Amino acid sequence: YVTRGEPLTGFERGFLPVSLAMGGASLRGTTVPAGSSVAEAFHYTSREAASLIETSGLKSGQYATPAGDLSPLQAVLELSLPPNRPLPDTRIRIDIAGLRQAGFEIPAVTRVSSVVRGRDGRVYSMPGGGYEMQFPYVVPAEFLRVMP
């Protein structure tokens, strides 16, 4: 299996579903080269955390996904979010095109692992299999928008 942070390998290296590579475009099921530009990504979180993120930015080391149409339960399962937290009720849109234009290096999109180590050191297994990107820097608030 692929662990967090590892680039896609084998068949997956060359292609991503269009709906992911294009930030949720309507051509679901079609594939495009993985190097294609991702224009936006989404961070799934709680309403309380979103208000803080909206003003101070997304912390370094946080994850986002090109999939902007996940339900709260889908987000937990596909993104291997910690099972001991409430379902995310808010998503934050990250303007990847804006970050790129401002000179930020955009992290690679990788496959989500099914084995995750929590902040408390516990290891747990989730379905995973979605796509994610991890930001090694603070994403400034000007590139973030809380979605309704």
Q: What is the pLDDT of residue 36?
A: 53
Give me the pLDDT at residue 117, please.
Answer: 78
Query: pTM value?
Result: 0.74
- The torsion of the CA quartet 38, 60, 101, 45, rounded to 10 degrees, works out to 50
Q: For 97-121, how does the pLDDT look when each residue is reduced to its tens digit (9 = 90+)? A: 999 999 999 999 999 988 877 778 8
- Cα separation of 125 and 115, whole Å? 5
Given this model, what pLDDT does residue 83 score? 81
pLDDT at 118: 75
> What are the residue ranges in the chain where pLDDT is below 50?
1-35
Q: Which residues neighbour 135 within 8 Å (Cβ) at sequence distance 6 or greater?
A: 58, 60, 61, 62, 63, 64, 107
